[in-house]
């Protein structure tokens, strides 16, 4: 597609609301998929007009996820919230004015979260995509989100930037710790939920390659795949 078309796409994207998902956090081996998604949800409910405060409780997050509110699930979310505080990703307060800090998350209480620091490279997660994840009917959505980030974080939202990326499954496996068979399954789920778009093209008689992009940029992805087939 033409660069002029790319500029128009970016003009539209610049008006869309998004959450900043920082690479440094996502690439820190200390955190698991459940921590990644809990982080995204906390960021997603930030109130900008209230100083970027996120109003958070274990049950609020479980309700957003669409998971059953039971002891096992509550414990999982509480542990992720606790880790995000212990590792100083967020500070949690008991009060709206953020004057009384807390060190231990309790399942039954509501807290006010503030991010400790925002710096470095980040992926734009548009709210539409976050909502798609929340609506996704899959118990593995937290791990699916980790694969989504791994692919989409390779893209840049600049006029001159490509709207597609070509990671191989081995790379994704190494970087996420998820096995290749499961990654392939998750990629199909992401496509079905219109979170990413991908096409396979043949590079040689015995070699194929996947090209990926955001769902809304599927024309760019398809164009690249078709051009690559023509050139091979």
Computed over every residue of the chain, the mean pLDDT equals 90
Please report the pLDDT score of residue 60 as a whole number. 94
Over residues 4-20, the pLDDT tens digits come to 455 555 555 567 899 99
| CA dist., res. 229 & res. 209, Å (int) | 11
Q: What pTM does this model have?
A: 0.88
Segment 157-162 shows an average pLDDT of: 74
Over residues 204-214, the pLDDT tens digits come to 777 888 999 99
- Give the pLDDT band of residue 77 (cuts 50, 70, 90): very high
Domains of the chain: 18-115 (1.10.10), 143-231 (1.10.10.10)
């Amino acid at each position: 597609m033409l660069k002029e078309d790319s500029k128009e796409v970016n003009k539209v994207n610049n008006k869309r609301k998004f959450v900043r998902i920082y690479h440094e956090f996502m690439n820190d081996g200390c955190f698991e998929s459940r921590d990644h998604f809990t982080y995204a949800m906390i960021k997603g409910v930030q109130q900008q007009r209230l100083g970027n405060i996120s109003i958070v409780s274990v049950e609020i997050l479980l309700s957003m996820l669409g998971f059953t509110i039971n002891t096992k699930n509550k414990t999982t979310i509480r542990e992720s919230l606790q880790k995000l505080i212990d590792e100083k990703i967020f500070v949690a307060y008991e009060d709206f004015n953020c004057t009384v800090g807390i060190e231990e998350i309790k399942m039954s209480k509501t807290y006010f979260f503030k991010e400790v620091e925002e710096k470095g490279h980040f992926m734009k997660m548009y709210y539409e995509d976050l909502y798609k994840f929340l609506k996704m009917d899959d118990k593995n959505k937290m791990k699916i989100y980790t694969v989504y980030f791994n692919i989409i974080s390779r893209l840049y939202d600049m006029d001159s930037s490509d709207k597609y990326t070509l990671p191989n499954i081995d790379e994704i496996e190494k970087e996420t710790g998820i096995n290749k068979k499961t990654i392939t399954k998750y990629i199909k789920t992401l496509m079905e939920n219109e979170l990413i778009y991908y096409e396979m093209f043949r590079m040689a008689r015995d070699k194929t390659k996947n090209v990926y992009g955001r769902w809304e940029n599927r024309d760019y992805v398809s164009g690249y795949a078709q051009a690559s087939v023509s050139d091979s």
